[in-house]
Amino acid sequence: MTSPRMIKGGIVQVDPASGTRLKVIALQYNPDSLSRTLQIQASGTEGGDRSQALRLRGAAVETIKLEAEVDATDQLAAAEPAACSLGIHPQLATLELLVQPTSAALQANDAMSRSGVLEVLPLEAPLTLFVWGRNRVVPVRITDLSVTEEAFDVNLNPIRAKVSLGLRVLSVDDLGFDSRGGALYLTYLRSRESLAGRSASANLSALGLEVI
């Protein structure tokens, strides 16, 4: 009997205008756990207008945290040239560049500044998507990235590391309804609504009540 293929979580970067896929990063190993926090955007505040107490100002702010492992053990055992000469430097560099502007973009901004451009706009990053199965494809901003290198080869190339990622889900409040990222967020929200619809409502008796 063939075991089902285990899909991997990962990150996809796309061009926000054209939707062209720029980079796909599959996690080497799926993390054992993933934590999510949803911060409610409510209108009512303590001691404020009571008419606003049940109103929501917008989508909840969702943050995701996970810890991934990167390991070159199998590649070293197979004597793969890149692993033998560089360890996991390439994999770590790929993740680090998710939160860095390119050197070319930095130089272009510097050139504009030196030429007297009055307002140099902040550098725009690609649209980053966190993919965790078909039901969770969400636009995100990477808020923090930390790397703990745990083992090295004789040339001090890292060969095992843990990478902690903090992600903030970008909603239509951040991206707008007409953007590619905003459309992806709405698809994600509709998926959550559909999944919630499959969960049957419990009876009041389960809570020890007959009426409310």
Instruction: Give the three-state DSSP class for 132.
Output: coil
Domain ranges of the chain: 10-43+53-103+127-196
Query: What pLDDT, on the 0 to 100 scale, is given for residue 45?
Result: 58
Characterize 63-83 residue by residue with b for buried, 16 or more Cβ atoms within 10 angstroms of its Cβ, and e for exposed.
bbbbebebbbeebeeeeeeeb
Please state, in angstroms and rounded to a whole number, the distance separating the CA atoms of residues 103 and 98: 13
Instruction: Tell me the backbone φ, ψ of residue 148, rounded to 5 degrees.
Output: -115, 105
pTM of the entire predicted model: 0.86
Instruction: Tell me the backbone φ, ψ of residue 20, rounded to 5 degrees.
Output: -65, 130
Query: What pLDDT, on the 0 to 100 scale, is given for residue 105?
Result: 83
Query: What pLDDT, on the 0 to 100 scale, is given for residue 47?
Result: 58
Query: What pLDDT, on the 0 to 100 scale, is given for residue 104?
Result: 87
Instruction: Give the DSSP letter of residue 164.
Output: E
CA nearest to 147, candidates 179, 194, 102, 99: 99
Please state, in angstroms and rounded to a whole number, the distance separating the CA atoms of residues 23 and 11: 8
The pLDDT tens digits along the chain (212 residues) read: 666 678 999 999 999 888 899 999 999 999 999 999 999 887 765 656 667 777 888 899 999 999 999 999 999 999 999 999 999 999 999 999 999 888 888 888 888 888 887 666 677 789 999 999 988 999 999 999 999 999 999 999 999 999 999 999 999 999 999 999 999 999 999 999 999 999 988 899 999 998 88
